[in-house]
Amino acid sequence: MSTTELQAKAPQEIRNVVQFLRSSKSDMKIRVGALNGKRVDYFKGKSATKALLSPAYAKLKHVPKVTTDAEAQALLQSIIPYTFYLRIDRGAAATSSSPRPVAVTPQQAFVAESYYAWFYEGPQWTTYAGGLLMVAIMLAGVMFPLWPPVMRLGVWYISVGMLGLIGAFFGLAIVRLVFYVITLVVASPGIWIFPKLFADVGVIESFIPFWEWDIPQKKSKKRKGKEAVKTTPEEKLATNGGAFIEEVVDETPETSRPASRSARVEEASDDGES
Protein backbone atom coordinates (compact mmCIF):
# COMPACT_ATOMS: atom_id res chain seq x y z
CA MET A 1 0.00 0.00 0.00
CA SER A 2 1.37 3.41 -0.95
CA THR A 3 2.08 6.26 1.41
CA THR A 4 -0.80 8.33 0.05
CA GLU A 5 -3.30 5.53 0.68
CA LEU A 6 -2.08 5.01 4.25
CA GLN A 7 -2.30 8.73 4.98
CA ALA A 8 -5.85 8.84 3.58
CA LYS A 9 -6.94 6.23 6.17
CA ALA A 10 -5.80 8.38 9.12
CA PRO A 11 -8.57 9.67 11.46
CA GLN A 12 -9.34 13.37 11.38
CA GLU A 13 -7.86 13.95 14.85
CA ILE A 14 -4.56 12.44 13.73
CA ARG A 15 -4.58 14.58 10.60
CA ASN A 16 -5.17 17.69 12.73
CA VAL A 17 -2.15 16.81 14.88
CA VAL A 18 0.01 16.24 11.79
CA GLN A 19 -1.07 19.53 10.25
CA PHE A 20 -0.15 21.34 13.47
CA LEU A 21 3.28 19.71 13.60
CA ARG A 22 3.91 20.51 9.93
CA SER A 23 2.90 24.16 10.31
CA SER A 24 4.99 27.02 11.67
CA LYS A 25 2.82 27.21 14.81
CA SER A 26 4.63 24.22 16.30
CA ASP A 27 8.01 26.03 16.29
CA MET A 28 9.76 22.76 15.48
CA LYS A 29 13.31 22.93 14.19
CA ILE A 30 13.31 21.51 10.65
CA ARG A 31 16.47 20.09 9.10
CA VAL A 32 17.11 19.14 5.48
CA GLY A 33 18.50 15.77 4.44
CA ALA A 34 18.98 13.72 1.28
CA LEU A 35 16.95 10.51 0.90
CA ASN A 36 17.62 8.49 -2.26
CA GLY A 37 18.90 11.61 -4.00
CA LYS A 38 15.90 13.77 -3.03
CA ARG A 39 15.72 16.48 -0.38
CA VAL A 40 13.50 15.76 2.60
CA ASP A 41 12.66 17.62 5.78
CA TYR A 42 13.27 15.87 9.07
CA PHE A 43 13.00 16.71 12.76
CA LYS A 44 14.07 15.37 16.12
CA GLY A 45 11.60 13.47 18.29
CA LYS A 46 12.25 15.66 21.30
CA SER A 47 11.20 18.73 19.28
CA ALA A 48 7.85 17.12 18.40
CA THR A 49 7.22 16.17 22.04
CA LYS A 50 7.88 19.74 23.10
CA ALA A 51 5.48 21.03 20.42
CA LEU A 52 2.62 18.83 21.71
CA LEU A 53 3.15 20.18 25.23
CA SER A 54 3.16 23.83 24.09
CA PRO A 55 0.31 26.32 24.76
CA ALA A 56 -0.32 26.56 20.99
CA TYR A 57 -1.29 22.88 20.85
CA ALA A 58 -3.47 23.21 23.98
CA LYS A 59 -5.59 25.82 22.18
CA LEU A 60 -6.41 23.46 19.29
CA LYS A 61 -9.79 21.78 18.97
CA HIS A 62 -10.58 18.26 17.78
CA VAL A 63 -7.17 16.91 18.77
CA PRO A 64 -6.21 14.40 21.50
CA LYS A 65 -5.35 16.02 24.83
CA VAL A 66 -1.71 15.83 25.86
CA THR A 67 -0.49 16.73 29.36
CA THR A 68 2.64 14.63 29.92
CA ASP A 69 5.67 13.44 27.97
CA ALA A 70 4.38 9.87 28.01
CA GLU A 71 1.08 10.91 26.42
CA ALA A 72 2.89 12.97 23.79
CA GLN A 73 5.21 10.09 22.87
CA ALA A 74 2.27 7.66 22.71
CA LEU A 75 0.41 9.98 20.34
CA LEU A 76 3.46 10.42 18.13
CA GLN A 77 3.92 6.64 18.09
CA SER A 78 0.32 6.17 16.91
CA ILE A 79 0.97 8.46 13.90
CA ILE A 80 3.88 6.40 12.52
CA PRO A 81 1.70 3.61 10.95
CA TYR A 82 0.06 6.21 8.71
CA THR A 83 3.52 7.13 7.29
CA PHE A 84 3.20 10.88 7.72
CA TYR A 85 6.77 10.61 9.01
CA LEU A 86 9.20 7.71 9.45
CA ARG A 87 12.23 7.11 11.63
CA ILE A 88 15.57 7.61 9.89
CA ASP A 89 19.29 7.26 10.50
CA ARG A 90 21.64 10.07 9.59
CA GLY A 91 24.97 9.76 7.83
CA ALA A 92 27.93 12.11 7.58
CA ALA A 93 27.66 15.07 5.21
CA ALA A 94 30.15 15.31 2.34
CA THR A 95 30.63 19.06 2.89
CA SER A 96 29.49 21.56 5.48
CA SER A 97 26.90 23.06 3.10
CA SER A 98 25.47 19.84 1.65
CA PRO A 99 22.55 18.05 3.36
CA ARG A 100 23.21 14.90 5.34
CA PRO A 101 22.26 11.59 3.74
CA VAL A 102 19.45 9.82 5.60
CA ALA A 103 17.96 6.33 5.35
CA VAL A 104 14.70 4.88 6.68
CA THR A 105 15.29 2.39 9.51
CA PRO A 106 13.53 -1.02 9.49
CA GLN A 107 12.41 -0.66 13.12
CA GLN A 108 9.81 2.06 13.32
CA ALA A 109 9.24 3.31 16.86
CA PHE A 110 9.09 6.73 18.39
CA VAL A 111 12.15 7.67 20.43
CA ALA A 112 12.72 11.21 21.65
CA GLU A 113 16.40 11.18 20.67
CA SER A 114 15.83 9.82 17.14
CA TYR A 115 15.14 11.67 13.89
CA TYR A 116 12.06 11.43 11.65
CA ALA A 117 11.63 12.42 8.00
CA TRP A 118 8.45 14.04 6.73
CA PHE A 119 6.51 12.32 3.93
CA TYR A 120 3.66 14.82 4.16
CA GLU A 121 3.78 18.30 2.68
CA GLY A 122 0.63 19.69 4.27
CA PRO A 123 -2.30 21.36 2.48
CA GLN A 124 -1.34 22.21 -1.10
CA TRP A 125 -4.18 24.59 -1.91
CA THR A 126 -1.89 27.63 -1.60
CA THR A 127 0.53 26.11 -4.12
CA TYR A 128 -2.29 25.34 -6.54
CA ALA A 129 -3.79 28.81 -6.13
CA GLY A 130 -0.42 30.46 -6.75
CA GLY A 131 0.12 28.36 -9.87
CA LEU A 132 -3.30 29.24 -11.26
CA LEU A 133 -2.71 32.94 -10.56
CA MET A 134 0.65 32.84 -12.34
CA VAL A 135 -0.90 31.15 -15.38
CA ALA A 136 -3.71 33.72 -15.44
CA ILE A 137 -1.24 36.62 -15.35
CA MET A 138 0.82 35.13 -18.17
CA LEU A 139 -2.25 34.55 -20.32
CA ALA A 140 -3.46 38.08 -19.65
CA GLY A 141 -0.11 39.48 -20.75
CA VAL A 142 0.05 37.38 -23.89
CA MET A 143 -3.53 38.23 -24.85
CA PHE A 144 -3.05 41.99 -24.33
CA PRO A 145 -3.79 42.81 -28.02
CA LEU A 146 -7.22 41.19 -27.59
CA TRP A 147 -8.15 43.37 -24.62
CA PRO A 148 -11.01 45.89 -25.04
CA PRO A 149 -9.79 49.37 -26.06
CA VAL A 150 -10.95 50.86 -22.73
CA MET A 151 -8.80 48.44 -20.69
CA ARG A 152 -5.76 48.98 -22.90
CA LEU A 153 -6.16 52.76 -22.60
CA GLY A 154 -6.45 52.47 -18.82
CA VAL A 155 -3.25 50.39 -18.59
CA TRP A 156 -1.46 52.95 -20.77
CA TYR A 157 -2.55 55.82 -18.48
CA ILE A 158 -1.42 53.90 -15.37
CA SER A 159 1.99 53.11 -16.86
CA VAL A 160 2.53 56.70 -18.01
CA GLY A 161 1.50 57.98 -14.57
CA MET A 162 3.96 55.66 -12.78
CA LEU A 163 6.78 56.65 -15.14
CA GLY A 164 5.91 60.33 -14.55
CA LEU A 165 6.11 59.91 -10.77
CA ILE A 166 9.49 58.17 -11.02
CA GLY A 167 10.81 60.87 -13.37
CA ALA A 168 9.54 63.65 -11.07
CA PHE A 169 11.32 62.06 -8.10
CA PHE A 170 14.64 61.84 -9.95
CA GLY A 171 14.22 65.40 -11.23
CA LEU A 172 13.56 66.67 -7.70
CA ALA A 173 16.66 64.89 -6.43
CA ILE A 174 18.80 66.46 -9.19
CA VAL A 175 17.42 69.98 -8.56
CA ARG A 176 18.01 69.48 -4.84
CA LEU A 177 21.64 68.52 -5.43
CA VAL A 178 22.29 71.41 -7.87
CA PHE A 179 20.81 73.92 -5.43
CA TYR A 180 22.99 72.55 -2.63
CA VAL A 181 26.16 72.85 -4.75
CA ILE A 182 25.31 76.46 -5.61
CA THR A 183 24.61 77.43 -2.00
CA LEU A 184 27.73 75.57 -0.90
CA VAL A 185 29.76 78.15 -2.83
CA VAL A 186 27.57 81.19 -2.28
CA ALA A 187 26.26 80.62 1.25
CA SER A 188 28.52 78.06 2.93
CA PRO A 189 27.93 75.50 4.47
CA GLY A 190 25.13 75.01 1.97
CA ILE A 191 21.36 74.66 2.11
CA TRP A 192 19.32 71.54 1.52
CA ILE A 193 15.81 71.86 0.15
CA PHE A 194 13.58 68.92 1.03
CA PRO A 195 16.13 67.90 3.69
CA LYS A 196 14.23 64.74 4.63
CA LEU A 197 13.81 63.45 1.08
CA PHE A 198 16.04 60.40 1.69
CA ALA A 199 15.55 60.19 5.46
CA ASP A 200 13.92 57.23 7.17
CA VAL A 201 10.57 58.98 7.63
CA GLY A 202 7.09 58.81 6.14
CA VAL A 203 6.24 59.68 2.54
CA ILE A 204 4.44 62.91 3.43
CA GLU A 205 7.23 64.09 5.73
CA SER A 206 9.84 63.36 3.04
CA PHE A 207 8.24 65.84 0.62
CA ILE A 208 7.61 68.71 3.04
CA PRO A 209 9.06 71.74 1.15
CA PHE A 210 11.26 73.47 3.71
CA TRP A 211 15.01 74.01 3.94
CA GLU A 212 17.78 73.78 6.50
CA TRP A 213 21.48 74.53 6.69
CA ASP A 214 23.94 71.67 6.26
CA ILE A 215 25.10 71.84 9.87
CA PRO A 216 25.38 68.62 11.90
CA GLN A 217 23.36 68.58 15.05
CA LYS A 218 25.36 68.96 18.23
CA LYS A 219 25.01 66.22 20.75
CA SER A 220 23.84 67.44 24.10
CA LYS A 221 26.24 66.51 26.89
CA LYS A 222 24.66 65.42 30.11
CA ARG A 223 26.12 66.84 33.25
CA LYS A 224 27.41 64.09 35.45
CA GLY A 225 27.44 64.65 39.17
CA LYS A 226 27.08 67.87 41.01
CA GLU A 227 28.93 71.01 40.00
CA ALA A 228 31.93 71.93 42.10
CA VAL A 229 31.22 74.65 44.62
CA LYS A 230 33.61 77.57 44.33
CA THR A 231 35.02 78.93 47.58
CA THR A 232 37.11 81.98 48.35
CA PRO A 233 40.51 81.84 50.10
CA GLU A 234 38.93 83.24 53.28
CA GLU A 235 36.39 80.40 53.34
CA LYS A 236 39.17 77.83 52.81
CA LEU A 237 41.11 79.31 55.73
CA ALA A 238 38.08 79.05 57.94
CA THR A 239 37.27 75.46 56.99
CA ASN A 240 40.83 74.03 56.94
CA GLY A 241 41.99 75.24 60.34
CA GLY A 242 43.95 78.28 59.24
CA ALA A 243 45.97 76.76 56.36
CA PHE A 244 45.28 75.64 52.81
CA ILE A 245 47.17 74.75 49.63
CA GLU A 246 46.57 77.02 46.65
CA GLU A 247 47.42 76.06 43.07
CA VAL A 248 49.24 78.82 41.23
CA VAL A 249 49.46 78.79 37.43
CA ASP A 250 52.87 79.75 36.12
CA GLU A 251 52.12 82.07 33.22
CA THR A 252 55.59 82.45 31.68
CA PRO A 253 55.35 83.69 28.07
CA GLU A 254 58.92 82.70 27.13
CA THR A 255 58.28 78.97 27.06
CA SER A 256 55.92 76.95 24.86
CA ARG A 257 55.45 74.22 27.47
CA PRO A 258 52.13 73.76 29.20
CA ALA A 259 51.60 75.97 32.20
CA SER A 260 53.07 74.40 35.32
CA ARG A 261 51.45 74.41 38.68
CA SER A 262 53.05 74.98 42.05
CA ALA A 263 51.68 74.77 45.55
CA ARG A 264 51.85 77.56 48.12
CA VAL A 265 51.05 77.15 51.77
CA GLU A 266 49.63 80.10 53.62
CA GLU A 267 49.08 80.30 57.33
CA ALA A 268 46.65 82.62 58.88
CA SER A 269 47.79 84.71 61.82
CA ASP A 270 46.12 84.09 65.13
CA ASP A 271 44.17 87.17 66.12
CA GLY A 272 44.76 86.39 69.77
CA GLU A 273 48.59 86.75 69.60
CA SER A 274 50.43 90.08 69.60
- pLDDT tens, N- to C-terminus, the chain (274 residues): 788 889 889 999 999 999 999 988 999 999 999 998 899 999 999 999 999 999 999 999 999 999 999 999 999 999 999 999 999 999 888 787 888 999 999 889 999 999 999 998 877 777 888 899 999 999 988 988 888 999 999 999 999 999 999 999 999 999 989 999 998 888 888 888 888 888 888 778 877 777 777 776 666 555 544 444 555 655 655 555 555 555 554 544 444 444 444 445 445 455 444 4
Q: Is residue 226 part of a domain?
A: no
**Domain total for the chain?**
2
The domain containing residue 182 runs over which residues?
146-211
Q: Is residue 271 part of a domain?
A: no
Residues 17 and 86 in one domain: yes
Q: Are 193 and 211 in contact (CB under 8 A)?
A: yes
Alpha helices in the chain (DSSP H): 3-8, 12-22, 45-52, 55-58, 69-79, 125-142, 149-186, 203-206, 233-239
181 contacts: CB under 8 Å, gap ≥ 6: 190
